[in-house]
C-alpha cells in the first residue's frame, strides 16, 4: 500500500519539520496536521501541511501513516484515543523521546496486532526553541532516527519499509534497538546533558543574576553548555516522568563524578579524571 496521505498530530518543531522535510524531498501525497487552530494556520502558511483539524480522531481518516509528534505523555494518551479509530491498514508511529511507556500503551491498545499497527520511533533532532515557527526542512539531516521494533516485527515490507524509506530520504540515519535499551541510552546521551545544562544555567542565575554579562565573558564553552537550557519544560517534564529510573541512575553517577572531582581538585586523581574523559575523544570515527 503506497503512502498517499500522512497525518502529523502535533505540528510544532518536530512535526512541522517533518512536514517540511517530506515536501522538500518531493512527497507527492497529502499531509494533514492536527493541533490547535492557530498552530495549524502557521503550519499551513509555512507549507508543512496541506490541511488540518483540531480533532485527532478526524485527522487520521484516509491516512496510511499517522505520526504522533507531541510530548511523550500526550503520545501515550493519543495512542489510546487514536488507536480505536485508526484506519484498518494504517501505520501508527511516534517521535517521542522515551519509548518504554509508549510501547507499553501501544501493546495495551492493539493487543496481538500491535506488530502490524505500531512502530515506535525517535529522531535525535531538535532545537532549544520550540514551535512550528522554528521548523526546519533540514532538521533531520545526518540525525539518528531510532526505531524500537517489537519482537517479530518486519520492517522490510509494506508501510514499514516505505516509511523507513522516507526517513532515509529526509536525511536521517536509522538505528534500531529495543525500547528499554533506547531509554537507558538516551538518559545518558540526551536527557542528562539537558539536566546538566539546566542546572548550570539556573545556578548561574542564582549566583550572578539573570542580567549578568556571563555569556560573552564565558565564550564558546559557556554558550554551548547553556544553549539547551532554553528548552521548554513542557517537553522535558514528560521525559523526566517517563524515564525517571534511568535518568535518576545516570544523574546519580554524574553527581558521584562531580563530587569526586570536587574532593580532588589538588590531587593527582583530578588528572586521572581528565585522562579518562579524554578516552571518549579517542573512539574510532570521532574527531579529535
Same domain, 258 and 168: no
Same domain, 109 and 164: yes
Q: What CATH number is given to the structural domain containing 110?
A: 3.40.50.720
Q: What CATH number is given to the structural domain containing 234?
A: 1.10.3660.10
Same domain, 28 and 162: yes
Same domain, 144 and 240: no
Beta bridge partners of 33: 8, 52
Domain boundary among the residues 177, 198, 229 is at 177
What is the tally of structural domains in the chain?
A: 2
Same domain, 224 and 259: yes
Do the Cβ atoms of 140 and 21 come closer than 8 Å? yes
In tens digits, the chain (288 residues) has pLDDT values of: 589 999 999 999 999 999 999 999 999 999 999 999 999 999 999 999 999 999 999 999 999 999 999 999 999 999 999 999 999 899 999 999 999 999 999 999 999 999 999 999 999 998 878 899 999 999 999 999 999 999 889 899 899 999 999 999 999 999 999 999 999 999 999 999 999 999 999 999 999 988 777 778 888 898 999 999 999 998 899 999 999 999 999 999 999 999 999 999 999 999 999 999 999 976 565 444
Q: Can you give the pTM of this predicted structure?
A: 0.91
What's the domain range around 199? 182-282
pLDDT, tens only, 160-204: 999 999 999 999 999 999 999 999 999 999 999 999 999 999 999
Same domain, 46 and 156: yes
Same domain, 25 and 167: yes
Q: Please check whether residue 156 lies inside any domain of the structure.
A: yes
> Residue 186 and residue 243: Cα distance in Å, rounded?
9
Same domain, 158 and 239: no
Same domain, 134 and 265: no
Q: Please check whether residue 287 lies inside any domain of the structure.
A: no
Amino acid at each position: 500500500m503506497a503512502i498517499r496521505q500522512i497525518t502529523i498530530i502535533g505540528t510544532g518543531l518536530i512535526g512541522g519539520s517533518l512536514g517540511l522535510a517530506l515536501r522538500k524531498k518531493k512527497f507527492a501525497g497529502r499531509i494533514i496536521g492536527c493541533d490547535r487552530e492557530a498552530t495549524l494556520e502557521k503550519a499551513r502558511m509555512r507549507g508543512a501541511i496541506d490541511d488540518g483539524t483540531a480533532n485527532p480522531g478526524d485527522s487520521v481518516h484516509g491516512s496510511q501513516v499517522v505520526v504522533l509528534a507531541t510530548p511523550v505523555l500526550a503520545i501515550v494518551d493519543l495512542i489510546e484515543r487514536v488507536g480505536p479509530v485508526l484506519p484498518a491498514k494504517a501505520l501508527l508511529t511516534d517521535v517521542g523521546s522515551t519509548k518504554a511507556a509508549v510501547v507499553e500503551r501501544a501493546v495495551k491498545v492493539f493487543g496481538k496486532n500491535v506488530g502490524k499497527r505500531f512502530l515506535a520511533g525517535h529522531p535525535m533532532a531538535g532545537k532549544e526553541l520550540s514551535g512550528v515557527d522554528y521548523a526546519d526542512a533540514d532538521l533531520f539531516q545526518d540525525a539518528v532516527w531510532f526505531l524500537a521494533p517489537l519482537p517479530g516485527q518486519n520492517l522490510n515490507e509494506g508501510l514499514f519499509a516505505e516509511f523507513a524509506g522516507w526517513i532515509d530520504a529526509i536525511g536521517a540515519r536509522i538505528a534500531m534497538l529495543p525500547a528499554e535499551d533506547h531509554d537507558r541510552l538516551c538518559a545518558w546521551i540526551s536527557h542528562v546533558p539537558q539536566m546538566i545544562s539546566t542546572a548550570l544555567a539556573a545556578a548561574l542565575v542564582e549566583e550572578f543574576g539573570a542580567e549578568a554579562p556571563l555569556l560573552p565573558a564565558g565564550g564558546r564553552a559557556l554558550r554551548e553548555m547553556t544553549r539547551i537550557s532554553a528548552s521548554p519544560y513542557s517537553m522535558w517534564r514528560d521525559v523526566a516522568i517517563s524515564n525517571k529510573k534511568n535518568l535518576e541512575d545516570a544523574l546519580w553517577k554524574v553527581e558521584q563524578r562531580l563530587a569526586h572531582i570536587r574532593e580532588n581538585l589538588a590531587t593527582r586523581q583530578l588528572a586521572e579524571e581528565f585522562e579518562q574523559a579524554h578516552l571518549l575523544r579517542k573512539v574510532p570515527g570521532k574527531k579529535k
